[in-house]
Structure formats: C-alpha cells, structure tokens
Amino acid sequence: MSSNNNGSNRVVVPEAKQALNQMKLEIANELGIGNYDNIDKGNLTSRQNGYVGGYMVKNLVEMAQRQMAGQNGTQMK
C-alpha cells in the first residue's frame, strides 16, 4: 500500500495542528475507538478510519458556518 504523503493531508495553518489532533482523538473516543493516537490505524477498518475523518470534517464545517454567521463573536471577512 502506498503512503499518502503527496501533500493533500498537510495542515494549512501549522498553529492548528495540535487542535486538529486533539479533535481527532476526541472524535475517535466518542466513536468508541480508544487509544487512537497509539494504535496502528492499519488494523482498523476503512469504515472506522473514515468515520473519524468524516466527523472531523463535519465539525470543522459546522465551526466555519458558525463563524461566518457571527455566532462566535467575530465574522469572517
């Protein structure tokens, strides 16, 4: 299996990397996948890994929509 190091998974805002990793761990935990940061992701099903990523995207889109709507006290320009 080839690795996905073509840049498509790079963090655009490096300062957000820690927050994104924390979000990933929290979502995995909510989905019942404990110790997600220390397990071999290759031993998980595609569905399990996909759920984690999918829920991350869902949460990030919701956060952006709230910010755009001005619900966090600041509006995007």
pLDDT one-digit tens code per residue, 12-70: 888 989 999 999 999 999 999 999 999 999 999 999 999 999 999 999 999 999 999 98
d(CA 27, CA 5): 23
Q: How many CB atoms lie within 10 A of CB 52?
A: 20
The predicted structure's pLDDT at residue 12 = 87
Phi-psi region of 7 (alpha: psi -120 to 50; beta: other; left: phi over 0): left
pTM value is 0.71
For position 1, what pLDDT does the model report?
42
Does residue 63 contact residue 27 with C-beta atoms inside 8 Å?
A: no
DSSP secondary structure code for residue 38 in this structure: T
